[in-house]
Structure 1
Amino acid sequence: MNSIPYYSACTSILVGKSASLDGSIMIGRNEDAKSAWPKHLRVHPKKQFQTSQWFQSNDNGFKMPLPQIRYQYEATPEWTAKYGLFEEDGFNEFGVAMSATESTYANPTVLGYDPLVPDGIGEEAMVTVVLPYVKTARQAAKRLGTIIEQFGTCESNGILFADRHEAWYMDTGSGHHWVAIKIPDDCYAVVSNQMAVQKIDFNDPDNYMWSKGLQSFVDVNHLNPALDGSFNFRNIFGTHSQSDTYYNTPRVWYGQKMFNPEVEQRPDSQEMPMLRTPAHKISIDDAQAFLSSHFQETPFDPIGSGSNADKKKYRPISLAKTQESHILQLRPNLPQAIGNIHWLAMGVAAQSTYVPFLSGFNTVPDEYQVGGAQYDPKSAYWIFKLVGVLVDPHYPQLGELLKQTQEELSIRYRQLILDADRRCHGMSHSELVTLANEVSTNAAKLALNRYQQLTARLVAESTDLSPLNYKQDLNL
């Protein structure tokens, strides 16, 4: 078993195509666990094996057979596989997007009847055993669900899937039971370490999926507290604890405050819905702003002007323990290799930048393939992380320099993408791959160079901010 506890505490967003500004489907998440634990970016090429394939976890011994054809996919694994792979997020060659996982908690009553399985599948394995073997988002959810039913799971999680037609969110609620819901095209969802799926319509398999025997499991064990007999997965399998009130629900509140400011809710409400129709169409910039937010314009912003008690009251969305943040955007009416974008912010999203990797890319910059637990100036993770470390002690003085850099890069990324959109029409697949590599590499190099320049300026600016300082009369 893992000798270093891996406390994943993520925040997720899903946006339907009619709820987005440009018709995109978007799924995204902050991967939160440790404050100095680098991630890499990797593309696994398609491979046909001649012998039987097996996956075995370095974390808990989970083991299962795999197909002999592994399709190309990208992922963001840990810098070390010693405690598990944690590949977390990416696209495969069929344009299926997956993000795993949003850690959640099942209540003790349910676990008494269907305990978690110590050597069942966990977060670290899910992308690896699902994403390379599916052709649609629905297939991906079904494959993972089948694995959980057969082998069990060692933890409860929320998992995000998407393709160009639909987005799905799955909750695992016990050792072998799960549900999944298709996100309505005109809705969005924000999720924060709580089971999210609410009412299930067992007469609507087009929009819901569930584990075999789920209804009978709940009925036989008298687990449903609803007076009207409705089936609310969150209420049956989830928790409503004090930890939820201070750690989880405020993040949902803030996301819904951003996208539905007209709705009056309390940060500690346990009754907020999973799905809402936004008051305005959600852009990729809006989704990035949510995942990089920390309760701005409220008393609860840790770097705001609220009281000390308020600033520490709720757990923020973007925080020091974010290893990477990603949004997988599926843009319509463009070739998949250019239209699908893996926006990747290494380190803390509030202090980093979302670099666009067009999903046809198969060449990864060297800086995204290196970096360990100790600072490495050649590592993308550490290049972005260092800026945050320098800004942290002096946000009032240095925060504006960071903001200017982020905004400048956002503008430059958009110009690179628009240029690719204009050039891609009529290209062959190999030409699209070349273009995707060109744009992705240029965006990554631009970000790395600009952050290294920012680091140099921050160091210079910081020299006069030492507590060992004194304002003196220069005439003396």
Structure 2
Amino acid sequence: MKKAECTTILVGKNATIDGSAMIARSEDGGREIIPEGFELITPEKQPKHYESVISHQKIDDADLAEKPLRYTSAPDVSGESGIWGAAGINSENVAMTATETITTNARIQGIDPLLVHGGLGEEDFVTLTLPYIHSALDGVKRIGYLLEKYGTYEMNGMAFADHDEVWYLETIGGHHWIARRIPDDAYVVAPNRLNIDEFHFGKDGFLTDDALEDLIKEYHLNPDREGYNMRHIFGSSTIKDAHYNNPRAWFVHNYFDPEFGGKPSDQDQPFICHANRKISIEDICFVESSHYQDTPFDPYGDQGTPEQKKTFRPIALNRNFETHILQVRNDVPEEIAGVQWLCFGPNTFNSFVPFYTNVNDTPASFQTGPKFDLNKIFWLNKLTAQLGDTNFKVYGELENDFEQKSLAQCHFIQHETDKKVAGLSGKEAEDLLTEANQKMADQVYDNTIELLGNMVNEGHNLATLKFDLLD
């Protein structure tokens, strides 16, 4: 089971509307439906001994702390190919998302090949990292240590956030890595390519393994006359990038700043960018749900030709299985600082829910099972999406009303809960936040059932198999 279709968005604390750090990613897959769940991993549930399912890589017990932190996780519920924890926030309000599958080139693969036997991959990183770190920078260093010691069999990007910092890390070959701190006033959009461009060895805000700079010089890997651009050195610039990756970044850039301009296929779109306004949760919800609206490339639009509508891969598509926005808030007490906005299924037809992470359980409707079950929001969202996709002009407005209603209701519950938890701590706070999460989950589930009913009513007369003497 491979997930290689994600879109990551990172926002520094001074670039957001409320001063929180945000890291987001849509977790996409292939033709097979991959049910995703939402779980709370307490210290007693964390593995004491670890072996990867895919690579059979064993982790030394010394690399698993005796006292791991509690954390949230969005795993694949089948477990057949490992845990694939995807994203979460730990009890010290450190957030992690992993991974964004990225590109590489033959030059580095000929020097430090991806592992054929052993090594770590996407199935492992959250489980082996999030319960052991106390800051975003800790996350970078922990991953760097694991990559250098155990290696990897795939190219991946991952991100970390705490109250003050957002970091993005990319793997290079089988054992090397680079990481860059996102400036507080900036945002990043990272599709399925190697994304870090400008890089300064030894400068604050830039980290890598100790051997990488010498490796670049020894093997003459730098094509630029001056400086280091890691995308030029280790990444790709292919026809696939021009149609599959770059257009997603282009759309987000132009949404955050209409003067960005450029062309969808541009290969050198910058990694670090600045919006023309402060970015909100709703902004990220929109771009993670986007499909080139108001352009000729929108599969649902009426501007382009049939060929244009199939030219570029959109962010939202049928293979979105789970999407999250990990928010570390700075204007509230520690007990409520961590919020995992979460939705399941294709992003154009669902709604994010802002779950507190300082809890003692997750809502039952988000604890997905592997079999089709309309009591679980994952499967309910898959159903509404597949029905909605048959006629977006008819069903799209119904979905938009549903999403606006759901977000507003969740915001209201969150505001009320923030007030109620003031002065509480420990189990008392956890119980209140767990109750609030359940209330939001129930509200969105009920809204989704209502949406499905409205779609059935609206679509009743659209059936092809019908006959009326008045027709």
Contact persistence 1:40–1:76 (CA under 8 A):
yes
Matched ranges for 1:126-205 at <5 A: 126-204=125-203
1:27 and 2:23 correspond: yes
What is the letter of the counterpart of residue 329 of structure 1?
Q
- Quick one: which amino acid aligns to residue 296 of structure 1? Q
Aligned-pair distance for 1:297? 0.8
Which of these residues, 302, 315, 339, is aligned with residue 337 of structure 2? 339
Q: Is the 8 A contact 1:173 1:238 kept in 2?
A: no
Q: Deviations over 1:204-261 (max 9, x none)?
A: 1x31110121111111111111112x11111111000110000000000001001111
Whole-angstrom distance in 2 between the partners of 1:264 and 1:37: 36
1:211-222 matches, cutoff 5 A: 211-222=209-220
What is the deviation of 1:471? 5.6
Corresponding residue for 2:232? 235
User: Which amino acid in structure 2 is aligned with residue 55 of structure 1?
Assistant: Y
Asked if 2 retains the 8 angstrom alpha-carbon contact of 1:245 and 1:268, the reply is yes
Match of 2:207 in 1: 209
Pair 1:54 & 2:54 matched? no
- Kindly indicate whether residue 121 of structure 2 is the aligned counterpart of residue 122 of structure 1: yes
For 1:112 and 1:128, locate their aligned partners in 2 and report how far apart those are by CA, in whole Å. Answer: 30
Alignment partner, residue 408 of structure 1: 405
Note the C-alpha offset of 1:48. 9.4
1:97 and 1:328 in contact (8 A); partners too: yes
In 1, the alpha carbon distance for the partners of 2:195 and 2:469 equals 58
Task: Report the secondary structure of 1:138's partner residue.
Answer: helix
> C-alpha distance in 2, partners of 1:320/1:56?
32
Which consecutive residues of structure 2, in runs of 5 or more, have no partner in the other structure?
none
Give the Å deviation of 1:394: 1.7
Cα pair distance change 1:427/1:7, threshold 3 Å: closer
Output the TM-score relative to the length of structure 1: 0.95
Alignment check: 8 A CA contact 2:365 2:441 kept: no
The SS at the match of 2:215 is helix
- Distance in 1 between residues matched to 2:180 and 2:119, nearest whole Å: 23
| Distance in 1 (alpha carbons) for counterparts of 2:270 and 2:290 | 20
Q: Which residue of 2 aligns with 1:328?
A: 326
Distance 1:171 1:262 in 2: 29
Q: 2: distance between equivalents of 1:255 and 1:173? A: 26
Tell me how far 1:370 sits from its aligned partner: 3.0
- Partner residue, 1:12: 8
Matched, 1:299 2:292: no
Q: Is the 8 A contact 1:104 1:194 kept in 2?
A: yes
Q: Does 1:385 align with 2:382?
A: yes
Q: Over aligned residues, Cα RMSD in angstroms?
A: 1.5
Q: Which residue of 1 aligns with 2:41?
A: 44
Q: State the AA in 2 paired with 1:151.
A: Y
- Measured after TM superposition, the shift of residue 449 of structure 1 is 1.3
Mean Cα deviation higher: 374-383 or 87-96: 374-383
- Aligned AA (1:162): A
CA contact (8 A) 2:247 2:265 kept: yes
SS of residue matched to 1:217: helix
Map 1:229-378 onto structure 2 (within 5 A): 230-305=227-302, 306-372=304-370, 374-378=371-375
Task: After TM superposition, list the pairs within 5 Å mapping 1:80-95 onto structure 2.
Answer: 80-95=78-93
Question: Partner letter of residue 79 of structure 1?
Answer: V
Name segments (4+ residues, structure 1) moved above 4 Å. none
- Give the residue type in structure 2 aligned to 1:40: G
Q: Are 1:47 and 1:69, in contact at CA under 8 Å, matched by a contact in 2?
A: no
Shift of 1:150: 0.9
1:437: which partner in 2? 434
Q: Give me the whole-angstrom Cα distance separating, in 2, the residues matched to 1:41 and 1:180.
A: 28
What's the offset of the Cα at 1:469? 2.7
108-117 vs 415-424, which moves further:
415-424
Residue 77 of structure 1 aligns with which residue? 75
Partners of 2:139 and 2:160 within 8 A in 1: yes
Tell me by how many angstroms 1:193 deviates: 0.5
Q: How many angstroms apart in 2 are the aligned matches of 1:212 and 1:435? A: 46
The letter of the residue matching 1:225 is: P
- 1:330: Cα distance to partner? 1.1
Partner SS for 1:249: helix
State whether residues 38 and 368 of structure 2, in contact with CA within 8 Å, keep that contact through their aligned partners in structure 1. no
Aligned partners of 1:430, 1:79: CA distance in 2, in Å? Answer: 28
Of 105-114 and 421-430, more deviation after overlay is shown by: 421-430
Residues 189 and 275 in structure 1, CA contact (< 8 A), matched pair in contact too? yes
Give the aligned residue type for 1:27. Answer: I
Q: Deviations over 1:55-104 (max 9, x none)?
A: 11111112212222221011011021111211100001111100000000
Write the deviation string for residues 128-161 of structure 1: whole angstroms up to 9, x where unpaired: 0000111111001110111001111110111010
- Whether the aligned pair in 1 keeps the contact of 2:187 and 2:273 (CA below 8 Å) is yes
Amino acid at match of 1:358: Y
d(CA) in 1 for partners of 2:389, 2:368: 24
Q: Give me the whole-angstrom Cα distance separating, in 1, the residues matched to 2:37 and 2:286.
A: 23
Deviation of 1:456 after TM superposition, in Å, equals 2.4
Deviation at 1:54, TM superposition (A): 2.4
Q: 1:21-42: per-residue Cα shift (whole Å, max 9, x none)?
A: 1111100000010352110111
Following the alignment from structure 1 to structure 2, what is the Cα–Cα distance between the partners of residues 148 and 387? 40
TM-fit CA distance, 1:398: 1.8
Residue 455 of structure 2 is matched in structure 1 by: 458
Q: Which digits, 9 at most, give the CA deviation of each residue in 1:111-130, with x for residues without a partner?
A: 00000013111011000000
Instruction: Tell me the secondary structure at the aligned position of residue 329 of structure 1.
Output: strand
**Partner deviation per Cα, 1:333-387 (whole Å, 9 max, x = no partner):** 2123322210001111111110110111221122222321x42122221011111
Distance of 1:400 and 1:232 partners within structure 2: 43
Q: What is the rounded CA distance, in whole Å, between the counterparts of 1:396 and 1:231 in structure 2?
A: 47
> For residue 422 of structure 1, what is the amino acid of its counterpart?
K
Letter in 1 for 2:180: I
